[in-house]
Amino acid sequence: MTKHGGMHGPLTQLSEEENLFFATVRQFAEETIAPMTRAMDEEQKFAAGLVERLFALGLMGIEIPEELGGAGGSFFDAVLAIEAISTVDPSVAVLVDVHNTLTINAIRRWGNESQQRRWLPRLAADTVGAYALSEAGSGSDAFSLQTRADEVEGGYRLNGRKLWISNAREAELFLVFATLDPGAGYRGITAFLVEKGTPGLTVGRKEDKLGIRASSTCELTLDNCEVAAENLLGEPGKGYKIAIETLNEGRIGIGAQMLGLAEGAWGHAVRYARERRQFGKPIVEFQAVEFALARMAMEIEAVRLMVYNAARLKDAGQPFVQEAAMAKLFASEVAERVASQCVEVFGGNGFVRDYPAEKYYRDAKVGKIYEGTSNMQLATIARQVLSSK
C-alpha cells in the first residue's frame, strides 16, 4: 500500500505522470486538508480558503480543455484526485467529485459552444457547480420528478423543491432537472443551468448528517424561478439521458471516494497497530490483527482494480455501465468493512473523536446510498449480465 498503483496490466497500471499527479494531490491533502478535517467535521463547513485552494491547484477543472482554462486532463485523472483526497477527508472529495464528474461533464457533453465558452472557464477558475436531481418523492425512482418547467416568453419558469443537493451552499451554478410534461414520464424531463442569485431560487437549510459533514447537502427551492431559453442544457425532454449518462460516470467517482476512504482507514489502522503495545509487544504482531490487516489490504486492492478498470474503459470510449455499477457497489461495501475493522483495531480509542477511525466509519455509510443505492446497482448489474447470456 505504500507505493501507489502497484498493480500490473494495461487497464490498471499508472503511468509516471499519473503517479506523480496522485502523489501531488495526496501531499496536498495530507499537508493542507488533514489539519482542518476535525474542525470542518465539527463545524459542518469547509475551512475558509479551502475551496479557493482547490481551484488554484487545478482540481476543479480537471477535464476542462486548456484553452477554456482547465487542466486538459482525463476522467481517470479526476478519479485519481477523488481517491487521493478521500484518503484524508471524503467530505472534500464530494465537492471535487460532484463538480467534476457530474456538473462539468454534463456541460462538456451536452452544452452548446456558447454555453461551454460561458461556463467552463468559470467552473475551472472560481465557480462551484451543483447537480439538482433528487426530490422528496424521487430518490431511487429518480425520474418521478414533481419540479415543473413551463415555457414562458423568452425562456422557462421553474417551480419545485429539490433535496439532498451536494455543494449547494458553495455553488454558483446549479444543473436543475424539471419536467416539461408530467404526462410524458421520463420523456418530459429537461435540464436547465440556473445561476445562484436568480430570482426565485433559494438554497435552504443544510442537512445535519451522520458523515461527510463538512460537505453541504441542502434543500433547493424554485418559486417562479425564470431562466432564459439559452440556459436550457441539451434538448427539451432529453434531461433523462443527461442524468443517466452523467450518473453512470459519477458512480465511478463514488467508487474512487470509497477506495480512498478505505485506504486512509487502513493506513491509520496499520500505524496504530504498530504503536499500540499489549502483553509486551505491538498488537500488529498478533496473528488476529495481522490477518485482519491483510484481508483489508486484499479487498482494497480488488476495489482499486475495479475502479481503475471502469475509469479506463470510460476514457477509452468503451461500454462501462456494468463495471461502474460493480465498482461502486463493491467499493462501498469494502469501505464500510475496512472502516469498521479500523475502529476495532483502535479498540476503545476507535470509538472516540480524539482519533480518526470513527470519522472514516461515519463517512463510509453514505457510499451505499447516494448516486444509486446498493440495490439499484445490483439491479443494473443483473440487467447487464443477464442480457448478455
* Residue 285 among the catalytic residues: no
Q: Which residue has the cell 421520463?
A: 186
Instruction: Write the DSSP assignment of 97-149 as a string of letters.
Output: HIIIIIIIHHHHHH--HHHHHHHHHHHHHT--EEEE--BTTBSSSTT----EE
Strands 129-132, 173-179: parallel, antiparallel or unpaired by DSSP?
parallel
At residue 110, what are phi and psi to the nearest 5 degrees? -110, -15
| Residue type at position 133 | L
Distance between CA atoms of 281 and 165, rounded to whole angstroms? 48
Contacts of 182 (CB under 8 A, 6+ apart): 148, 188
Instruction: Write the DSSP assignment of 141-199 as a string of letters.
Output: STT----EEEEETTEEEEEEEEEEEETTTT-SEEEEEEES-GGGGGGGEEEEEEETT-T
- Tell how far CA 353 is from the center of its chain: 24
Distance between CA atoms of 280 and 152, rounded to whole angstroms? 77
* Residue 129 CA: distances (Å) to CA of 170, 174, 278: 8, 6, 49
Distance between CA atoms of 158 and 342, rounded to whole angstroms? 46
Q: Let me know: does 158 contact 192? Beta carbons within 8 Å.
A: yes
Q: Helix 239-275 to helix 75-86 angle, to the nearest 10 degrees? A: 40
Q: Which residue has the cell 462501498?
A: 332
For the chain, what is the total number of helices (H) and then of strands (E)? 12, 10
* Residue 64 CA: distances (Å) to CA of 75, 121, 219: 10, 8, 28
Q: Let me know: does 312 contact 76? Beta carbons within 8 Å.
A: yes
Distance between CA atoms of 82 and 100, rounded to whole angstroms? 10
Catalytic residues: 371
